[in-house]
Amino acid sequence: MANIKTVGIIGAGQMGAGIAHVCALAGYDVLLHDVSSDRIDAGLQSVEHNMSRQVGRGTIAHDDMVAALQRIKPARELQAVGKSDLAIEAATEDEGVKKTIFKALTPHLSETTLLASNTSSISITRLASATDRPEKFIGLHFMNPVPVMKLVEIIRGIATDAGTYETAVEFARSLGKTTANAEDFPAFIVNRILVPMINEAIYTLYEGVGTVEAIDNAMRLGANHPMGPLELGDFIGLDTVLAIMNVLYEGLADSKYRPCPLLVKYVEAGWLGRKAGRGFYDYRGEAPVPTR
């Protein structure tokens, strides 16, 4: 494996903080960046909170938590991420935003730095084209929540070389993850299957086939899913669900991937799920209550 000692992470939200969490526990030094110091601080607090919960459950030792937290350093300026051996972008699921980040970051990198995106649906080949090193660019799609979920999808762009791919696989496995190779098609494997199911559940609600509660109970108890599809959509973020459906619809030109109008309406209303306090459930009280 290429000599990866320091991992830079751009985006300190749920995914970026989760990636920082597992990298630090695995012994890597981490540089965590976001557009504001407040977001970086919130990400660091999230990592500490989640590690404390692991200590409470006996999953990790207290000394391991202390050592891991000391490995994570805030990178207040984007150029500070240039010191990393591997830089992972974990920003919002918007191609324009991601390309802007890579264009701004590239001049600060060493020749050997590898680049990765945690995108859940966008073409790795297109993102790589915004950099000066498409052969050293790869998709590392972690699942949410990162410290819990065991899978990382590895996606090669058309120009990704063999060494970059092999390093990415070894890196993911060094974090205790299992890898799945996915070809560079819209939404890859997991979200190509999962997100249309959520979209179909929203159509089922939209058409009046069942209520929010009935749909989620049906899939939990009838298909043994740990979480109902509408609850899962809220957990992922309905804006992210819509973004992935749009990538599928535009990329594959198949009407079966058309986003449900009700999904669009919820996103337009700002009802994005758990992070916004409302989605298909209202989370502002003591217990979630269906909004329809």
pLDDT tens-digit series, residues 20-34: 999 999 999 999 999
> 54-93 pLDDT, tens per residue?
999 999 999 999 999 999 999 999 999 999 999 999 999 9
Residue 141 is among the residues annotated as catalytic for this protein: yes
Based on the fold, state whether residues 200 and 126 are members of the same structural domain.
Answer: no
> 40-54 pLDDT, tens per residue?
999 999 999 999 999
> Is residue 1 domain-resident?
no
Based on the fold, state whether residues 202 and 122 are members of the same structural domain.
Answer: no
Query: Which of 84, 117, 118, 120 is the catalytic position?
Result: 120
> 203-244 pLDDT, tens per residue?
999 999 999 999 999 999 999 999 999 999 999 999 999 999
For 259, which DSSP code? P
Based on the fold, state whether residues 159 and 231 are members of the same structural domain.
Answer: no
**What's the 3-state SS for 75-89?**
CCCHHHHHHCCEEEE
Pairing mode, strands 86-89 and 72-74: unpaired
Q: Which of 195, 279, 283, 288 is nearest to 241 (CA)?
A: 195
Domain CATH code at residue 92: 3.40.50.720
Distance CA 69, CA 134 (A): 32
Domain housing 91: 6-182
Query: Which of 117, 121, 123, 191 is the catalytic position?
Result: 191
Residue 120 is among the residues annotated as catalytic for this protein: yes
DSSP element (H, E) containing 264:
helix 261-269
Q: Which of 15, 113, 114, 19 is nearest to 68 (CA)?
A: 19
> Is residue 73 domain-resident?
yes
Asked whether residue 2 carries a pLDDT value surpassing 90, the answer given is no
> Is residue 287 domain-resident?
no
Q: Last residue of a domain, which of 182, 213, 233?
A: 182
Whole-number pLDDT of residue 1: 53
Residue 153 is among the residues annotated as catalytic for this protein: yes
Which residue in the block uniquely carries the two structure tokens 């986003």?
A: 259
The stretch 193-212 carries a mean pLDDT of: 98
Q: Where are the alpha helices (H) located in 86-206, listed in sequence order? A: 95-105, 124-128, 162-174, 190-206
Q: Which of 229, 192, 226 is nearest to 214 (CA)?
A: 229
Please provide residue 59's backbone torsions phi and psi, each rounded to the nearest 5 degrees: -75, -35
Query: Which of 89, 93, 153, 231 is the catalytic position?
Result: 153
Rg (CA), the chain: 19
Q: Last residue of a domain, which of 182, 215, 238?
A: 182
> Is residue 88 domain-resident?
yes
Return the structure tokens found at 96: 């324009």
Whole-number pLDDT of residue 12: 96
Query: Which of 21, 84, 118, 141 is the catalytic position?
Result: 141
> 155-168 pLDDT, tens per residue?
999 999 999 999 99
Q: Last residue of a domain, which of 154, 182, 210?
A: 182
pTM value is 0.91
